[in-house]
Structure formats: C-alpha cells, structure tokens
Structure 1
Amino acid sequence: MTDRRSLLLTLGLLPWTGLRAHVEHENWDVVVIGSGAAGLSAAAAASESGLRVLVLEKQGTVGGNTLHSGGFYAAIDPARQKRQGIKDSPELFEQQILENGGGKSDPKLVRLLVAGASDMLAYLEANGMRFKDRIIEIYGAHWPRCHLPVLPNGEGYIRTMLNIAMKNGAVIRTGMRATDLSTAKDGRIQVLVQSRREEILLTPRIGVILATGGFGANQALISRFAPRLAGLTNDNTPGSTGEILVAARKLGALLVDLEEVQCLPGRPPGGQRRVRLHNDVSRFIFVDHEGRRFVREDERRDVLRDKVLALPDKTAFSIVDDEGLRSYDILVQKETVLGVETGDAWRGDTVEELANAMRLPPKTLQETVEAYNRSVRSKIDPLGKNPRELRHEIKTPPFWGCYAAMTVHYTMGGVRISPKAQVLREDGTLIPGLWAAGEVTGGIHGVNRMGANGVNDALVFGRIAGLSAAEAARD
C-alpha cells in the first residue's frame, strides 16, 4: 500500500476495495471532476468550444452542494438595481470582497469574479434561467445585489448548465469517484477513478479540471485545519470530503487558507432538521437564550459565527413573523413547518406564545421585538444594523423561531489558481494540464466569503477553466 493510499485510508477518505485498475482508452479531451455549478460550467464552456468532455460525479446524482444551496447569486445588475434605487459599482463590489478577505484575497481573481458575475448572469438568462426581479441583501452579503432564482435553491443553475453541457456532447457519469491524480510519462495528467466494480485510469488529451468542492463534510479535515469547529454539524452533501486536495498536493499544487472555514446558522448537534429563517437580513432578528439580541444581523459572517460560538451553549435563535416567512421560497417555508414537527422550529400566535414554546423568557422576548420594531420605525438600531435593512417590523402573526447554531457551510481554502484557473505550484509555476474552479480553490475569499458569492464564484471560474482548457487545445 502506498503512502498516498495509507493517508487517505487514515483520514477516512478512501475505502479499501482491492480492485485492480485498468486503463480507459476512450479519447477524452478534458475530464471534469465534480458536477456542481463549477464542474458543469466548465463542462459547458469546454464542450461549447468543441472539446470531448467527460464529467465524473462521485455521488449518485449531479448537482453537488449547489443543488442544495440557498441559490442566491451576487452580481451588479444596473437594470434591476436602478429600479430599486440601489447604487452599485464594480469598484464597490471588489472593495467589499477584499475587505472581507482580510488580506488573503488575490485582487486579480476578485476582479475577474466581479466582472464575470454580471456576464454569467446574462449568460444564464440568455439560456433560459429565470430570476425574480427584486434584489435583496442576504445574510453576510453587505449590499443589495443578491438575485433570487425562480426555481428553489440551486436547481436552476444545475438544470441550465447541465442542459448546455449535454447539448454540446459532454458525457456525465455518476457513481465515479476520483481518488488520485498522477502524471503520465508524456506529461499528461491522469485520474484514477473508482466505480462500484473497478478502478479506471483516465488520461485525457488536454487535461483535468478539478471542481470537487470543499471538505466541509469531512470531520477529520475540519478537526485538523479548524479544530475549534470540530463537532459542529454541516450542511454539505456527503461528497464534500476533500480527498482531491491530497491528490493535488502530491502533484505539487499550492494549498492555501485551509484553516478558513465559514459557518452559517443551522441545526445544533443532535438536531434533526436545518431551518433557514436567516436568509434576508431585513426580515429576522437573532436572540440568545435570554431572548435578547446580541449582534447586528447584517454583520460579517465570520463575526456572526464567533458571536454565536461565544454563547454559553454555542446556540442562538432566529425569529421572524409570518410575513417574513412567506417572503421566503416555498422550500424554506416547508422546512420550517416540518421543523416545528421535529422540534427544530417553533410557532406562536403571539410573541409570548412563541417564547413559551422556545423556552425563552416571554417578557424579555416581547421587549426585544418591540425595541426592534421601534428601531425599524426610527431607522436607528442600538446594535448598529444598517438603516437600509431596517425595513420590516416583526408584527404579523403567527411568529416563527428556529435554532441558529453554527453549522459548517463552506471551506475557503484549497488549491491556488491563476487568472486562467490554472493550478499553481508552490513556486508560482503552473502545473500543465490542471485547472480548478469553485470551492476546491483558495485565494479568492480569504477569511470570510460574502453571502451569495459561492454560486457566482463556481460558475465564473468554472467557465474560465473550461475556456482555458479549450485555449490549451488550440496551442
């Protein structure tokens, strides 16, 4: 057994199969590993450019974390924003990403993300994807530039990009787990793939695009790189295990920011269902076990994470009224109702009744809601919430609450890439024939990814990777 395989087995990333690998002789130009937004965007761009593309997905269905994400998409959109009186600019967007990155974000990559997000929005709509007209500021986004798809969660992105890729001849294979990367004698990148029956060695003509997502579902890696978050729940699909980072490192890839892990409100350990009442920062408030607000709801995501983790049992609560709940998409409404049945959420015809159901001090919670409503009317919040988001009082019964424990959501670290999405070595040189996009990469978001900057990142850099592979094919 090789040291590489021993490491993966130790981390729980690779089950021992005893299968013997055979060489796959199909003549693929590009192999894309992962079928979330990044992988399908890369496959669409490469196949549109005339390349023969194979997409490998370890799970039984396509979509990855994108399919189960909130689906919000940040982009400058002059037409929609102007109708709402929202002023925005590329310079502001870039500045906010860099500030949130804490000095770890590559300005060149940030600039590409900002410009590419608007271009990709137009591309999606030209290919039939629909977004709602209203732009909002979601949790941790810091500006109203977040687009809401008509289809729930990330379904619209997966449908759209999958349709483009397959229409142009890309082949999608599920249940195919990439377990290793290597270099052939002629310098081409090889992929070792494990299916249910065998191990296959693929050697594409042009190269490999990594779009495998992060490692949020792997407790061993979370414990290793972000030990204070060990034991938290996660909202990732089971495939987010990060083994391809180990494989890329073996090829000499530079890994950065692995310690930077983002958390969102979710279920505490032992909870059965995640309920998301926090999406729109103008609609909800956070309270602690005393029924008091303890932080502005539009604060940075890393600050919100640390504030909640500093509470005695590392758990807060989100509160909305019925008007707020009904402003969310149908899946969020459904999960809230189901959460009431499982004890992960609560409903009350009055604030006092809600407080009793949640075992919070009724008088304190009532005072908190009344004080917040006064802040909405006066546009002055003692905790500093931006007046722009002080728009909705919490006053329409019934009232709803849910747990807001921190759950591992997104890993900001991964392989470092060039502006053409090429994977870089530690000395800054390129690894020929290897590209990467999406959550598997690092160097874009730094210490704190802004809200709604996950799907756009995946789509933008997925497309760059696919076009870069096509460019390499022409050279």
Structure 2
Amino acid sequence: MARIIVDDGAFETTITVAIIGGGAAGLCAALAATEAGAEVVVFERDALPQGSTSLSAGLIPAPGTKAQAEAGIADSPELFARDIQAKAHGDADQTVLDLVAAGAGPAIDWLAEAHGLAFTVIADFSYPGHSARRMHGLASRSGAELIDRLRAAVERADIPIMTEAHVTGLVVSGSGDLRGLEITRPDGSAERIGATAIVLACNGYGGNKALVAEHIPDLKDALYFGHPGNQGDAVLWGRGLGVELRHMSGHQGHGSVAHPHGILVSWAVIMEGGFQVNAEGRRFWNESQGYSEAALAVLGQPGGVAFDIFDARIAGIARQFEDFRRAEATGAVITAESPEALAQALKIEPQVILETLESVANLKSHGGIDTLGRDWSGLPQLESPYQAVRVTGALFHTQGGLAVDRSARVVKPDGSAIPNLFAAGGAAVGVSGPDASGYLSGNGLVTAVVLGRIAGTEAAGMVRNAARS
C-alpha cells in the first residue's frame, strides 16, 4: 500500500533523480534527465519494465513531425490542440493541453533521432476526432515493441533500472519536505533511499477496484484491460501530501476487446466502414463517436457483448496491427461467405442480419446520417466474405490524476508546487476531461511521452539548482 512516511532519519543511500515506474513516461523521463546531466535511477515493481504501454497499440499522436512531412501530411500544434479540446468538450486541463500540443511533435522527433525509434505515420485511415493523420507507431504497431525500444535506449544510456523494487512509500520530513522513498522487495525486505527529486511515472488507478468504484462506478465490474500494477499509488500519495487531484472520473474505455480471447481489435475495423451489432443482430449506437465511449455502449447490451462486422478489405488494413494478427491466429475473427453464413456463425436470425446489412448499404449509397447520428458519407460498401469478432467493453486506463504546472511539478490546491516532486503519464491529470467521451485516440501515450520528457528535464534542472544553492 502506498504510504507517506514522516521521518527525519538517515538513508542507506541517496540518489539525485528517482523515477518511479518503468513504462513510457518513466523511461522518457529517465532519458531526458540523463541528457540534462542528472544521475538517474528507475524503480520498477515488475521483473521486466512493461506497464500499460506494453498492452497498448503503441500509437502516439503528434503534429508537425518529420515523419508527417515525409508522408506529405499537413498538421500543426494548434490544430492538434483544437482536436483534443473538441473531443474533451472544452474540459481538457489547459496546462497539460498546452504542453502536449507544443511538445508532442518535438518528442517524437527526439525519440527518432536521438534514440533510434523508427516512427512512421499511419496514413491509410483516420482515427475518430483527429483532423489530420498524426498517429505515429513503430513497425509492429504494438506497445510491446515501443516499450522494448525505449528500454533498449535506456540501457544504451547506462541508466540503471532497479526491477522488482516496489516503491511502497514516500519519505517526508517532519516539516513536510519530500526526502526520499521506501522500496519493498518480493521477499518483504525494505530499503529507504534518499532522493533530491522524484518523478511519479507509476500510471493511474485502473487496477484498484476501490478507487474505480469511487470515481468510475459505471465500470466497477467491467473487464480491466490495463496493467495490474496500476493501483493508484500516485493518487494515494497525492492525497497524503494534500495535492490537487483533477478529473478523477476521466478514463479510456474500449468497446472492441475480443471476447473471451481478451485481445484488442483495432477500431479501424469500424472507422473504415464496419459497424457493431448486439446479440440480436441490431445496431445500437453511433460507432463513429469513438472507442472509449464504446465500452459503456457495448456493456449496456444483452450479455455485455456485441459483434464487430466488417469485410476482408478492412481486415487487410487492420492486419498491420499485431493485436489483430493475434486475434486472427487465435480464431477470434470469424469469416462468412454470405449474410446467411454470418448469421449462422453469430447465432443470429438471418433476416435480422440481412436487414442490418441492407440498411448500412443504403446509407452508404446515399451518404446519409442515420437515426443514431452516424454519417456514412464516403465509406465503401462491405463485400463478401464478411468478417466478425465477438467483443466486450473494458476499462483500459484512467485519465485523472495529480495536477501539474508547466514544469510537470505536482501542485497543491492553492497553486503552489512541491519543488522536487514531478508527475507524468497516468500519474498526472490527462487531457481527456472528466468523461470517457473526452478521450481522443492516443491521449494516454502522448501525455506519457511529453510529460515524461518534461519531468525528466525539469527534475535534472532542479537538482542542478539545489547543488548550486
């Protein structure tokens, strides 16, 4: 359990910058702090740094990158900021939004040029809410590859990663100054380590059922598709330190997780002209709103399940994602040569499936907006063979967290900052506002990378200033 330890005693050892968490935020913070001249140690609770990053598609939205320029895509930080704020209904945290919009492009180019992460832009389809094609990914389009490449960059920089080192406490002095941390090993042994600066990069609270029930009660019983280590340590420490917590109900859901296989199915299968039906074979919502709000939409259907319906052309686009290839390999993707065969495979009345397919085909032909609010203009017709995946809704990660200033320092309700405490990624408030519908594709990873880079740089600067004073 994350705790605050009030103690003025000596430490066994003292380091300059301690980074708690070895996901994308923590590893980017480590690289940035090291480049800024600080001695860094990353503390990771698992035997291998993976975190929520490894479970994602590894895609980071960013405007004005060299990869975009090479693909002939026009974009800007201003347009990116407008897209984020529009999806968040005007409720995105303005401080973090400004940092993300300005810092995403430079962060992608930094990782590519300084650390060899060969990002390319997904240029063959658009994610909902993005006005430009700005999603950057590595070759496999997987979070596992992203975290592997970041970890390799950290290892090349000779930055130590202490694994199986669960940070269970922050140590503060009797006067309230942050002094260090406590780590607990798998055998129960504990060690106290002093730190000049601390970066919280330990993600959100999606794995803590009590916190989910408190802040996102509609998803308290939903499948959790994030890393089990996301127990809300940063939130609990923040409460103990009296800092400001913002948008705690904000989160990313997903309504396209293959069930019971537990494999993410790319939302490209929907945005390229596919759709969802419930167990009765009927459409039930406007799928173009986004995959985050799809979680509740799907969970609200009979049995909490739905079917993604698409075709071979769309499957060819989705196949660039490793998750989709894995779903095919495990038999989660059903192929049917006719509407009747599709109905039989899904155990749905053939007439209902036929009516639904005909309705969608007519809407596409006329470019109409249906009664659910989806605009079908410009979307190609589905052709046999049809394909389908049985899916459910899930909670992926939380978007609320600790309020930060422009230096990624954690702030209190009165606006004052804790001078040597920084937060990044899921530990900090995101840019999605308080609702699932505010989540724009990639919001989680972009805040991890951008805030991680800022937090690392600023923590190193704080250490230099402390050494001079």
TM-score scaled by structure 1?
Answer: 0.86
Moved over 6 A (4+): 82-85
What does residue range 224-235 of structure 1 map to in structure 2 within 5 Å? 224-235=214-225
CA contact (8 A) 2:20 2:198 kept: yes
Distance 1:300 1:331, change over 3 A: closer
**Residue 259 (structure 1) aligned with residue 249 (structure 2):** yes
Residue number in structure 1 paired with 2:325: 334
Amino acid at match of 1:137: S
- The aligned residue for residue 32 of structure 1 is 19
Aligned pair 1:440/2:427, yes or no? Answer: yes
- Distance (Å, rounded) in 2 between the aligned partners of 1:303 and 1:29: 42
CA distance in 2 between counterparts of 1:78 and 1:62 reads: 27
Change (3 A) 1:165 1:231: same
Residues 342-382 of structure 1: CA distance to partner in whole angstroms, max 9, x if unpaired? xx553323332122111122232233234334444544342
| 8 A Cα contact 2:254 2:292, kept in partner | no
Instruction: Give the direction of change, closer, same or farther, for the CA distance of 1:4–1:25 in structure 2 (3 Å limit).
Output: closer
Q: What are the Cα deviations for residues 290-324 of structure 1, in whole angstroms up to 9, with x where unaligned?
A: 32323332214554344334434433221221222
Residue 427 of structure 1: aligned partner: 414
RMSD of aligned C-alpha atoms? Answer: 2.8
Q: Which residue number in structure 2 is paired with residue 455 of structure 1?
A: 445
The residue type equivalent to 1:202 in the other structure is I
* Aligned-partner SS, 2:139: coil
Alpha-carbon distance change, 165 to 276 in structure 1, aligned in 2, over 3 angstroms: same
Q: Name the structure 2 match of 1:10.
A: none
- Counterparts of 1:32-431 in structure 2, within 5 Å, are 32-77=19-64, 88-126=75-113, 127-135=115-123, 136-138=125-127, 141=130, 143-184=132-173, 187-197=177-187, 198-204=189-195, 206-267=196-257, 271-279=260-268, 281-301=271-291, 303-328=293-318, 329=320, 331-340=322-331, 345-382=333-370, 383-386=372-375, 390-397=378-385, 399-431=386-418
Aligned length: 451
Deviation at 1:88? 3.6
Q: Is the 8 A contact 1:289 1:360 kept in 2?
A: yes
Instruction: Determine the structure 2 residue equivalent to 1:12.
Output: none
Displacement, 1:43? 0.4
Which amino acid in structure 2 is aligned with residue 41 of structure 1? C
Shift of 1:75: 1.4
Partners of 1:275 and 1:402 within 8 A in 2: no
Partner residue of 1:15? none
TM-score of the superposed pair, with normalisation by structure 2? 0.87
Task: Provide, for residues 222-254 of structure 1, a one-character-per-residue CA deviation record: whole Å limited to 9, x for no partner.
Answer: 112212211110111211111332122212221
Residues 470 and 296 (structure 1), Cα distance of their counterparts in 2 relative to 1, 3 Å cut: same
Q: Which runs of 5 or more structure 2 residues have no equivalent in the other structure?
A: none
Secondary structure in structure 1 of the residue aligned to 2:414: coil
In the aligned structure 2, how far is the partner of 1:128 from the partner of 1:396?
42
Secondary structure of 1:263 counterpart: strand
Q: Secondary structure at the match of 1:193?
A: strand
Indicate how the Cα distance of structure 1 residues 380 and 80 shifts in structure 2: closer, same or farther if over 3 A, else same. farther
Structure 1 position 133, deviation (Å): 4.6
Which residue identity is paired with 1:451? S
Structure 1: gaps of 5 or more residues: 6-21
Cα pair distance change 1:80/1:38, threshold 3 Å: closer
Structure 2 Cα separation of the partners of residues 318 and 432 of structure 1: 49
Contact map agreement 1:288 1:294 (CA 8 A) in 2? yes
